[in-house]
Structure 1
Amino acid sequence: MSLDELSEEMQESYSDVGEELTVSLDRETRNELAMLETALEPEETDELVRRAIHMLFQSTVETGTMDFHLRSGFDVTYDEYLTGMTFDEMTGANQYPTMDDERRYQF
């Protein structure tokens, strides 16, 4: 997979999610959400869900979990996705032809 394929899948997922999302909650999640709502008193419960997604995303990026999954699934990192270029494209490493090791040191 590649950077282009990752971008395409991101656009598809973004479209699929849309504005509204219905989520079923198990007992533990419902209990935790009730506690957070009671303690933090947001205007809407939706705000807590948005914050939770932001926190999960941030921790996934900061711990390297995002890069691990992107590298294994698409062979790119999150930074490469953000810049729209692979590391090899950024550094120019893919500009040069591959070296022929048998003739490498011959003059």
Structure 2
Amino acid sequence: MSGLDDLQADVTEAYEDIDGELDLDRETTNELAMLAAGLGTDTDQLVERAVHLLFQTTVDSGKLDFHLRSAYDVTYDEYLSGMTYEEMTGGSFPQPETNDDRRYQF
């Protein structure tokens, strides 16, 4: 058996395991199966890593804060501290008095 045949067998086996465990679309199942076979890592660990990476990227880019502010009127930092900026500072969050168009700059 060649390396290509071995890889195909491992990917197929991982695909079948994933397909029975998780409700994913075909493309995601294929990608997860390839990662599991290629990295030799359990699919549960790969899903944990993927969620952590997505979470970290979303926090770092400011996207989580944007969505939290839109839906709950708080940021992730406020959630972590258990207090809003207003409660922390005793007033409103400082905004530039003259130029409000820079408010959502990344």
Q: How high is the TM-score relative to the length of structure 1?
A: 0.63
Structure 2: distance between partners of 1:48 and 1:84: 31
Percent identity reads 64
- Of 77, 80, 94, the residue aligned with 2:78 is 80
Structure 2: distance between partners of 1:55 and 1:61: 10
Structure 2: distance between partners of 1:23 and 1:82: 31
Which ranges in structure 2 are unaligned for 5 or more consecutive residues?
Answer: 1-20, 93-106
* Aligned match of 2:44: 46
Q: How high is the TM-score relative to the length of structure 2?
A: 0.64
Instruction: Map 1:23-38 onto structure 2 (within 5 A).
Output: 23-38=22-37
Which ranges in structure 1 are unaligned for 5 or more consecutive residues?
Answer: 1-21, 95-107
Aligned length: 72
Moved over 4 A (4+): none
- Does 1 or 2 have the higher relative contact order (CA < 8 Å, sep 6+)? 1
* Aligned match of 1:60: 58
Structure 1: distance between partners of 2:28 and 2:56: 20
Structure 1: distance between partners of 2:37 and 2:26: 16
SS of the residue corresponding to residue 85 of structure 1 reads coil
